[in-house]
A and B are shown apart, each in its own frame.
Chain A
Amino acid sequence: MSLSGKDKAVVKNFWAKVAPKTAEIGGEALGRMLTAYPQTKIYFSHWSDLSPSSAQVKKHGATIMAAIGDAVSKIDDLTGSLSALSELHAFKLRVDPANFRILAHNIILCMAMFSQEDFTPEVHVSFDMFLQNLSLALSDRYR
């Protein structure tokens, strides 16, 4: 399900609108993933606090969203631009790529909560496809 020119434009446009809130959305999304999908906690056992209000969670959520924002700016070559992060997730973090979908769902849910009028079904479908393509690029170096 590749991104059309229209999808890319929709994603860039929407990202520009939510830019001021993305750090907060990232922290929320990560906190929700750890709470509602507790099996994902195994990847963060080195943190002392995995609750949604944890400073570690909020900071890392912001880091993730910054990387996603960078991917938006390089949307024409996701595989290339995410190569280093893919190697990190594959060889160092060893995150099962099935989990990318779970975080993507939580990011989308927070997008819907934080920007209700802007996150129409039309924006949702383009953004969902973008996160799917991003997850694919992030899995690229696994094997």
Chain B
Amino acid sequence: MVAWTDFERATIKDIFSKIDYEVVGPAAISRFLIVYPWTQRYFAGFGNLYNAAVVMQGLEKVVKNMDNIKATFTELSTLHSEKLQVDPDNFMSCSFDCLAIVVAAQLGKDFTPEVHAAFQKFLAVVVSSLRRQYY
């Protein structure tokens, strides 16, 4: 069980209410496909980047279930490990770092160091849950 402070809960909900999924999702994915080109190996079957909004919706599910993130992500973790076979080291170092960068650029001054820290903790929990079903 992750212990979230009131500030962290409010901040995560606030971030997700402010960002535009249709913009942030595709922007983050297309950025990391360029910056870390080896990740392209996983996206041959992903279809158009409009599917990137699907990733944001997955994250939004977590925002609604912040006290039960492990269970929320069991299926997705299995998907990423067994079907998509994504190297889990990529989760934070490639995709979520780029997501943080795109969110920071969108929110500007609102993305204060304290907000950034809360978002970083959130992403670390998401990564840990996505890794859970790997061997």
Judging by beta carbons under 8 Å apart, are A122 and B34 in contact? yes
- Nearest opposing residue in chain B for A38, CB measure: B117
Contacts A121-B30, A122-B34, A124-B31 given; indicate if A112 touches B105 (C-beta within 8 A).
Answer: yes
Question: Which bucket holds chain B's interface residue count?
Answer: 20 to 34
Supposing A113-B111, A122-B34, A124-B31 touch, asked if A36 and B102 sit within 8 A by C-beta, the answer is no
Contact A36 B101 (CB under 8 A): no
Query: Could you tell me the distance in whole angstroms from the C-beta of A28 to the nearest C-beta in chain B?
Result: 8
Describe A's contact surface by its main secondary structure: helix
Q: In the complex, which residues of chain A have a beta carbon less than 8 angstroms from the beta carbon of B112?
A: 52
How many of A's residues come within 8 Å of B, CB to CB?
Answer: 22
For the complex, what is the distance from the CA of A48 to the CA of B30, rounded to whole Å? 41
Chain A residues 4 to 43 lying within 8 A of chain B, measured CB to CB, are 28, 31-32, 35-38
Query: Does A116 count as interface, using CB distance less than 8 angstroms?
Result: yes
Docked-complex contact B34 and A35, CB < 8 angstroms = no
Q: Kindly provide the distance from the CB of A51 to the nearest chain B CB, expressed in whole angstroms.
A: 8
